[in-house]
Structure 1
């Protein structure tokens, strides 16, 4: 940017006194001329002038508004660049966390595992170096106890497995014995009932043989007896011989009858009894076989359950023992890669302890990180107004505050989809986390260093451009104030693309035109002139009607406050310099007045200087955005040297804590201070006119 001349010279060329002039500013050459007031309106005019004089004494911004700064319009290239600040971090960071469970319980009012040793913060380590050693004493005690429990479980498992094997053998023996009984009983039944050679048939054949023999003996004895009887009759045999022959015949008859009876008993009774007995034994053996099978299954299942339970118990005990061993190994943490040790920053809201030897750490708590310092990236945030311009893979230039003479090339790696509402500047400001990687391997860069990222969106060549603080927008109109002879003139313009400092002018200006960089002062004078003219016309109308108005008492109820407020009631600073509020209540014109660089704020009466692209009603309008524009060292505050020159006169009043720096809370009070300073004259005017 080039300024056309010194501030004093340009101010005088524009028809205004220098900044240190205490005289009230003369009317602008383009302002509406004042009409002569009638005699009855003189009192009202005097009151208005008195209010303006009091306001000039109380307001520190009157001098700043009467000095104009010009910029000569030039044609050239306009780089469309999104500039954001952020912090360096490693692209590849190994996180070292505590993986040891809390085996020690509550000790010394602390829960977790105590750090016995930790490498100093900022140390350079190699892969495999010991980083942290945690207290393992409680773990070793548990490990010894668990070893004994595991041994007992192993013995019970072995016994259960042997019992199961023994039960399998017993089941096999019992089953074989039962099956043998069934087979024997089956053979017994079959051997008894076999028609060809069964036991029953053999017995029947034997009885038949005996019956045949008995009949043969009977026949022989009968023949013998008849022969002896014949001989006896002849006298050859004695009576004793006859009796003996008859006895032998009787025995033969008895034997034959006995054999016949035995055969009948065998056929009718013995056969059925033997058949039922043998079949019953077969059925019993079959049922016993089924019972043996069920008993075997139940006993085997019981043994199997006991065995599996013992195995699971052993596995659990062994798993716990192995876990304790693993936890014991994790009490010593070794470096997974080369890097620099960076202690984890505790969250004070959660009462986190500082990482140091003797401190307690919870499981899964981060202890330290090992960033790869050769591959770095910038963690920044992009405002929602320029989010549509930023895309992945866009080229960027990174400058680190610690090395101002060096720059690095990079690319946009990622842009967050959702906003980070806990942003850097204000709770209602939406920014989107953006990661920009540095392409080359770097040295000496450390995590946490502040860096400025310039994301190259595009470049527009051979265009006219002006600083964005020179552009003013009211409603749907957009214009600049341009030097015209000894004064200035308003010109409507058409805007094009913009960056954070300049905006393209497509129509309305020509190369070589001088535009006003601080149009706030012109707007203030214009508003004052219009209000004074309106009050003069109202006073003239009142004089013609002959009505004596008291001003303060009549204007207060239900009126806008113009009649009792004086010429500044409509300036939009929200104070309402009369007894009633002015119609332009709101943020006022102070938010954008001091700064003219990088996006103006809200103009009087609600007008907004155009911030260049994006949402015209939101971008650059709050105290946080104002600080962001002028904060050159990135500390989130504005020093007196960083503040724009028109703002330095009232700097000490804004600096409430007297530290020489303006914070966001102090900047937020700036409109209220101006309302208070401008409200007193208004009230005086109202009371004077009312009297």
Structure 2
């Protein structure tokens, strides 16, 4: 009797425990289909972008280079905002100052030589003028004596007719006339010689002055050259913008300019971009460049602030391709064409030259079409399928595909807007790793 009573008590309890345990296990175990990720079929405009990396650059910029060689002894801060006339670079002028002092002395000596020689020319002219006056006075005196002697000769010849003088006296007077004529000719010759000597000496002295003037002008040019070099040793900003140091060759390697660097003329040292109008330089793969056209819209996101969306348009497309370089975040060996995107708005506080950006150039927009993620497509041969979510699980559905971009593909038929499709094959076990299958050939973007 007692045994039956215990059975009546224990049996219901055991049944209840078993039922509870069974229910808990059944409740805690999830349906495997519920863990399959899905996505809704979207309908709207479908964009086909060319997605590349780019760098910000100013639409306009000024490149600063030195006009003289020398060593940088003082330098402004990189990144500083400058306005026209602000200090940028100071080149060492110690050797130039010494050269300036030497050339100032040379120029002054040349000027002194000119002044000295001009004084000598003035003295020479006075001396020559005095000699010419003396010679002319002697000539005038001899002419006067000649005239007196000729008058005496004429008187003696009249007296000879009257036999008041002898023939010998007349002959003597004639000889004196010839002597006076000879003295006059000598004086005329002396005057001519003195004039030629004066002209020659003054011409020589004037030539010396001209040579000294040329030397003085040369010294002045050399002096002005040093003064110009000293002025050019201080480089100032020609325009407003932000200071960006350029890289120069430093004995075996490239590096940004620093104090102590030896620089040479025409070296690009600093770039001052105008931050009020910025562009994005994009290296587009040569296989995709045929899709890019001027005027196409573009969306830009900065690496420094991915939450901010910038808008722009294609403004320039280079005519030649160039090989990629690793420091440009491109694949070495591949060919790229540079495309310039003009930004609609520029914020100098946010946008700085050299910033990296992700750029989507919208090459084509297909209006009002259905699209799904690429992960939802499964291909078998040339046929594409999706797994459509239904009330009882997933249904394998054949679909016709259209164009695609990096993440989505257009679906022409087979599904409807709002449908849910699996993002992985729900028939595979979780532990299985499906091998990727390419989409069937068709109008997809290559």
Corresponding position: 1:362 with 2:263: yes
- Describe the superposition over 1:210-241 as per-residue Cα deviations: whole angstroms up to 9, x where unpaired: 335644xxxxxxxxxxxxxxxxxxxxxxxxxx
Are the structure 2 counterparts of residues 480 and 370 from structure 1 closer, same or farther at C-alpha, using a change threshold of 3 Å?
same
Q: Which residue of 2 aligns with 1:301?
A: 207
Corresponding position: 1:84 with 2:52: yes
Displacement of 1:166: 1.2
- Describe the superposition over 1:608-637 as per-residue Cα deviations: whole angstroms up to 9, x where unpaired: 998747xxxxxxxxxxxxxxxxxxxxxxxx
Which structure 2 residues correspond to residues 466-545 of structure 1 after superposition, within 5 A? 481=383, 511-512=413-414
- Residue 455 (structure 1) aligned to one of 355, 361, 369: 361
Corresponding position: 1:169 with 2:122: yes
Higher relative contact order (CA 8 A, sep 6+): 2
Displacement of 1:385: 3.8
Which structure 2 residues correspond to residues 129-528 of structure 1 after superposition, within 5 A? 139-140=93-94, 143=97, 145-146=98-99, 148-150=101-103, 152-177=105-130, 180=133, 198-199=147-148, 201-211=150-160, 214-215=163-164, 256=165, 258=166, 260-264=167-171, 266-267=173-174, 269-313=175-219, 315-317=221-223, 319-320=225-226, 323-324=229-230, 327=233, 330=234, 344=246, 350-352=252-254, 360=261, 362-363=263-264, 371=273, 373-423=275-325, 425-442=330-347, 443-457=349-363, 459=365, 461=367, 481=383, 511-512=413-414
The TM-score, its normalising length taken from structure 1, stands at 0.43
**Structure 2 regions of 5+ residues with no counterpart?**
1-31, 34-40, 376-380, 386-394, 417-434
**Does the 8 Å CA contact 2:72/2:89 hold for their aligned counterparts?**
no
Mapped to 2, the partners of 1:326 and 1:310 lie a distance apart of 24
Mapped to 1, the partners of 2:168 and 2:374 lie a distance apart of 143
Mapped to 2, the partners of 1:166 and 1:129 lie a distance apart of 47
Displacement of 1:371: 4.9
Mapped to 2, the partners of 1:157 and 1:101 lie a distance apart of 29
Displacement of 1:206: 1.9
Q: RMSD over aligned Cα, in angstroms?
A: 5.3
**Does the 8 Å CA contact 1:77/1:462 hold for their aligned counterparts?**
yes
Q: Which residue of 2 aligns with 1:3?
A: none
The structure with the larger Rg is: 1
**Does the 8 Å CA contact 2:69/2:262 hold for their aligned counterparts?**
no
Q: Which residue of 2 aligns with 1:250?
A: none
Secondary structure of the structure 2 residue equivalent to 1:455: strand
Equivalent residue pairs, number: 374
More strand by share: 2
Secondary structure of the structure 1 residue equivalent to 2:323: coil
- Describe the superposition over 1:367-426 as per-residue Cα deviations: whole angstroms up to 9, x where unpaired: 665555554321212233444554555443322244333322223343323322245544
Are the structure 2 counterparts of residues 421 and 308 from structure 1 closer, same or farther at C-alpha, using a change threshold of 3 Å?
same
Displacement of 1:207: 0.8
Mapped to 2, the partners of 1:154 and 1:302 lie a distance apart of 17
Secondary structure of the structure 2 residue equivalent to 1:396: strand
Are the structure 2 counterparts of residues 434 and 312 from structure 1 closer, same or farther at C-alpha, using a change threshold of 3 Å?
same
Displacement of 1:338: 6.8
Secondary structure of the structure 2 residue equivalent to 1:403: coil
Mapped to 1, the partners of 2:172 and 2:374 lie a distance apart of 137
Mapped to 1, the partners of 2:178 and 2:145 lie a distance apart of 11
- Describe the superposition over 1:97-124 as per-residue Cα deviations: whole angstroms up to 9, x where unpaired: 677743xxxxxxxxx4455x764x65x5
